[in-house]
Structure 1
Amino acid sequence: MSSSVLEYENSRNPFVVNQQSMDRYLQIAALRVLVDENIRNRAEQLEQEGVKAIDALHVACAEASQSDYFITCDKRLINRGQNLSITVINPNNFIFEVENDNKSN
């Protein structure tokens, strides 16, 4: 999934090669979420719970897309995301979880 928030954040990347690589990834996403009033309201709610503004927009977009996971290396966000409807998880734990799910099926 991609979002207008991811596109905005990537546009601010000072490393052109990295920015171009991320653009390619964002273009192949099956779903693109645009920030609307509902997402803004949810992001404001998350900010009031202590989530940084840009992270709150990312999470609100992921929730709006009904994603199962929000993958991040931000330990603070992982800790704050314990009570969300979406699982906030680091990349390593995500891989372990998916591998374990696949083994049990």
Structure 2
Amino acid sequence: MKLLSHVHKSVKIQKKELRRAKQLKEIGFKPFDATHIACSESGMSDIFLTTDDKLLKLSRRMRTELNVNVANPLSWFMEVV
């Protein structure tokens, strides 16, 4: 499966993404994770994949605050295939 062939967009970190990252940090996300999620939301990603168990746990707890689904890549792949 050539997943990267479906990638058509890149996101530049601008004020909008930095504001959103700040909001995410305020609810408990680490700065780097918050920035990645903010960019993923801005790019209108269908899914944000991570193997970081702490990030997955926090994302599940805060899912109503997020505008992107966060999942483990293996779990997601098993659902898709």
Smaller-chain TM-score bracket: 0.7 to 0.9
Unaligned segments of structure 1, at least 5 residues: 1-24, 100-105
Query: In structure 2, the residue corresponding to 1:33 is in which secondary structure?
Result: coil
Match of 1:58 in 2: 36
Distance in 2 (CA, whole Å) between partners of 1:67 and 1:89 is 12
Could you say which structure has the larger radius of gyration?
Answer: 1
2:76 is equivalent to residue 98 of structure 1 = no
* Residue of 8, 14, 29 corresponding to 1:36: 14
Secondary structure of 1:34's counterpart equals coil
What letter matches 1:39 in structure 2? Answer: E
Q: Percent identity?
A: 35
The alignment's TM-score, normalised by the length of structure 1, stands at 0.64
TM-score by length of 2: 0.82
Pairwise CA distance, 1:67: 0.5
The structure where helix makes up a greater share of residues is 1
- Write the letter of the residue equivalent to 1:54: F
Paired with 1:97 and 1:60, the residues of 2 have a C-alpha distance of 25
Which one scores higher on RCO, CA 8 angstroms, separation ≥ 6?
2
The Cα shift of 1:41 comes to 0.5
Give the CA RMSD over aligned residues: 1.6
